[in-house]
Amino acid sequence: MTQLFNIICMCLLTIMASCTFNKDDDGWRDLLDMNLSQWRIWQSYQLSNGYRGQAPTDAKGNALPFIGYDKNLYNMVTMEEENGEPVIHMRGVTYGCVISNQSFRNYHLRLQMKFGTQKWEPRLDKAEDSGLLYHSIGEPGVDYWKAWMRSFEFQMMESGTDEGNTGDYWSIAGTRADIRIAPNTNEMPTERTIEATRPFYLYDPQGEWTTVSRAFAPDYNSPNDQWTQIDLICYENQSLHIVNGKVAMALKNLRYVQEGKEIPLTEGKIQLQSESGEVYYKGIQIKEIKEMPAEYLPYFE
């Protein structure tokens, strides 16, 4: 009787796992449904022009608390449907993100994104901006914007601007990576008010491997009203930012700095940013990989 009970339990667990992970024959697992069941909403603040890295304060000058988890203030995140497919509509009124419930290591993540038209302070006069943050650890709110977890950013930027491109790399809260950079590009190509003292480099697949905290990628964006295909491939201490099928950047020796020590960072949760601008995400899928695909190995030589 006990053996029969165990068999039934195993069958039920197998069925539940199949329903939860929804893997197809190629190993792809859906991460998005109309209930946003595999993600959690987190919000920091509704920020204003003039923000310089300090939490907003009340009338007495005391720092305001974060909006926090699961509030969805101002309907920051709503789920919509397009041709029967779930779509995240991120309004962007506040800074924050949706955070995956699960951590991931050694994977290929793919999704599609496009920007809307609404923007809010402090980005009213700036390009639409969002990002895919990976290998996210710790608690959110530890970065300059008091909005995100320590992570690596695969930036997503409105096409046709000089503020950056989709595929750029940004360090979030002390992460570091080695990237091949173009020679003599240690200044930002445009005036920015955000952490403008940090060097900003240009990715060059023929350049020298250099430790950086942010870097510009080529512009492979789709037009702003069209979907852009995003692929992120992570294997051990390497990652690839791929935009519309083109490698925008290769990173290796992924790590973070804490108390002066460098610590490898090869796994973590996924965050999708809300950054004072309207953005849509769909087709979010992930697949475990056993090695870096052979076609991309030359990018790490």
Residue 219 clears pLDDT 60, i.e. is over it: yes
User: CA-CA distance, 237 to 24, in Å (whole number)?
Assistant: 27
- Check: CB of residue 188 under 8 Å from CB of residue 270: no
Classify the C-alpha dihedral 129-130-132-135 as positive or negative. positive
- Check: CB of residue 234 under 8 Å from CB of residue 135: yes
| Residue 28 placed within a domain | no
pLDDT tens digits, one per residue of 75-86: 999 999 999 999
Tell me what pLDDT residue 160 has. 73
Decide: helix, strand or coil at residue 300: helix
Structural domain count of the chain = 1
Residue 9 clears pLDDT 80, i.e. is over it: no
Q: What is the mean pLDDT of the chain?
A: 89
| Residue 128 placed within a domain | yes
Residue 265 clears pLDDT 60, i.e. is over it: yes
Tell me what pLDDT residue 201 has. 87
| Residue 18 placed within a domain | no
Residue closest to 88 by CA, chosen among 164, 99, 187, 48: 99
- Check: CB of residue 174 under 8 Å from CB of residue 153: no
Q: How confident is the model at residue 114 (pLDDT cuts 50, 70, 90)?
A: very high
| Residue 104 placed within a domain | yes
CATH number of the domain to which 290 belongs:
2.60.120.560
For residue 6, how many other CB atoms are within 10 A of its CB?
10
**CA within 13 Å, CB half, 11:** 6
Tell me what pLDDT residue 23 has. 65
Please list, residue by residue across 61-97, b when 16 or more beta carbons sit within 10 angstroms of its beta carbon and e when fewer do. eeeeebbeeeebeeebbeeeeeeeebbbbbbbbbbbb
DSSP state string for 171-231: EESSEEEEEEE-TT--S-SS--SSSTTS--EEB-TTSEEEEESEEE----PPPTTS-EEEE
Tell me what pLDDT residue 56 has. 92
Looking at per-residue pLDDT, the higher value among 217 and 195 belongs to 217
Amino acid at 263: I
pLDDT tens digits, one per residue of 24-73: 678 999 999 999 999 999 999 999 998 999 999 999 999 999 999 999 99
Task: List residues bridging with 277 in a β-sheet.
Answer: 119
| Residue 20 placed within a domain | no
Residue 226 clears pLDDT 50, i.e. is over it: yes
| Residue 249 placed within a domain | yes
Residue 18 clears pLDDT 70, i.e. is over it: no
pLDDT tens digits, one per residue of 241-258: 999 999 999 999 999 999
Whose tokens are 């979010």? That residue is 284
Angle at 168 (CA atoms; ends 110, 285), nearest 5 degrees? 10
Whose tokens are 């990237």? That residue is 179
The CA distances from residue 138 to 30, 76, 292, in Å, are 24, 22, 26
Note down the domain range covering 235.
Answer: 33-49+62-300
pLDDT tens digits, one per residue of 152-208: 999 999 877 777 899 999 999 999 999 999 886 555 444 343 444 456 789 999 999
Task: List residues bridging with 178 in a β-sheet.
Answer: 211, 252
- End-to-end CA distance of the chain, in Å? 58
Residue 229 clears pLDDT 90, i.e. is over it: yes
